[in-house]
Amino acid sequence: MNAPDNTSATPTAHADASVNDNRLVVAISSRALFNMEDGHELFERDGLDAYRAYQIERENELLTPGVAFPLVQKLLGLNALSGDVPPVEVILLSRNSGDTGLRIFNAIQHYKLNISRAAFTSGAPTSDYIAPFRADLFLSANAEDVGRALRAGVAAATILPSTAPQRSSEQLRIAFDGDAVIFGDEGERVSKEQGLDAFHRSESELWAEPLSGGPFRGFLSALHRLQAAFPAETSPIRTALVTARSAPAHKRVILTLRRWGVRIDEALFLGGRDKGPFLDAFGADIFFDDSPANVESARKHVATGHVPHGVSNS
């Protein structure tokens, strides 16, 4: 449970119909954007009243950046670029109340983040507001909200605590796992149920049949629309596929992306190698993977989002 409560108070939201349908919309929780772990631990230990008093007492104390803060900065920074670039919007979704959420908006103002739309739900799940805000991606420290979003068909990930250093590059770099993230989990099911040899045999036989789309296919397409506004060699966005697949299972992946008309700048077929050092070398601002083992390794090197989808999480 996110740090305030589990009461059923009426949610408050701010939305506007006058939006650009071609924009990229990212919804993010307050605990993913800012470091609010002290308050969350207090809530878990002492309850809602203590949490509310803590936040109001510290209303004018600045929150420090959280794991996803650098990602949000870079996403919003794309709006300052010239040319025919689809706009990016970041929406705040928080289980705080509007009262305790004032400290969050004070921090947003201090860091000059162009975030104006928000929903504060007073402890109720925030995922109900993802669809009305038309978000392409939802990032949260609350696994329950992430699971609800994924079941509703939205790309979503649980942002995990990380000791990864902030990246100095101004370029936005996002890395994705393949199976059960960009693609469906059919391949992983064959591998887990029948073994690696059966997986390679199946992929070789089906090489010309496109893979099904996974939960992040829509977000990848929206990101591609942004990339398409720039020449590949000067793009402010760089993407990478970082997968445990290796030859011959790589062929179907490449042909599927080609069929979708989606650009991936780097494709790393690691054949089961530890992904962390490769993500560090790529300089990912965030990496999305469905495997609990992979995300535990990755978050030592880069900011990481766990996608609780597919056979690895059943």
Q: Computed from CA positions of residues 93, 97, 101, 102, in that sequence, does the dihedral angle turn out positive or negative?
A: positive
> Beta strand 118-120 with 12-13: parallel, antiparallel or unpaired?
antiparallel
What is d(CA 262, CA 217) in angstroms, rounded to the nearest whole number? 10
DSSP state of 64: P
Which residues 6+ apart lie within 8 Å of 290 measured at CB?
A: 177, 179, 180, 181, 185, 306, 307, 308, 309, 310, 312, 313
DSSP state of 311: G
DSSP state of 89: E
* CA distances for 138 relative to 95, 112, 158, 215, 226, angstroms: 14, 21, 9, 11, 18
Is 21 part of the annotated catalytic residue set? no
Given 5, 136, 145, 177, the catalytic residue = 177
Catalytically annotated residues: 177
